[in-house]
Amino acid sequence: MFDYDDQNIFAQIIKGEIPADIVFEDDDFICFKDIAAQAPTHLLLIPKNQKVASIAAIQSEDVHWLGAMMILATNIAKDHGLNDSGYRLIFNSGEGAGQTVFHLHLHIIGGKKLSGQMV
């Protein structure tokens, strides 16, 4: 279920093989707009150098880059003006949770009043 496929669509975006609307990129992470945005701001933050299919597949040795990723997510949310309105950071893990791309990614969602319903 959590096998990593080098040809997944986010791996292709990281390699520049297919385009994306990139809002942030450094050596370790890339963040781009979700192609099917579910809110005025809907970004995907993705590690570039980790072959991890899902948050359920992380190991204790992943703590450093994963912590950096979470801090980066809050900074990107702030840069997009989401601090005042509020936002959600979401990992979908597994097909039962709606995960469709098996390269770890964090949804950054905001820019509108979000439902009180989590599911």
> Hey, which residues are catalytic here?
105
Stretch that binds ligand AMP, among 33-41, 59-67, 75-83, 110-118 (CB under 6 A): 33-41
Q: Is the CB of residue 72 less than 8 Å from the CB of residue 1?
A: no
Cβ count near 95 (within 10 Å):
11
Which of 39, 53, 99, 110 lies at the binding interface for ligand AMP (CB under 6 A)? 99
| Rounded CA separation 93/8 (Å) | 16
Which of 56, 66, 89, 101 lies at the binding interface for ligand AMP (CB under 6 A)? 101
> Which tokens belong to 104?
């770890």
Stretch that binds ligand AMP, among 45-53, 65-73, 98-106, 109-117 (CB under 6 A): 98-106
- Looking at the DSSP bridge assignments, the partners of residue 33 are 43
Q: Taking CB under 6 A as the rule, does residue 20 contact ligand AMP?
A: yes
Measured in whole angstroms, the distance separating CA 68 from the mean position of its chain's CA atoms is 13
- Looking at the DSSP bridge assignments, the partners of residue 88 are 109
Q: Taking CB under 6 A as the rule, does residue 41 contact ligand AMP?
A: no
Which residues in this chain contact ligand AMP in the complex, by CB under 6 A?
A: 9, 20, 32, 34-36, 44, 92, 98-101
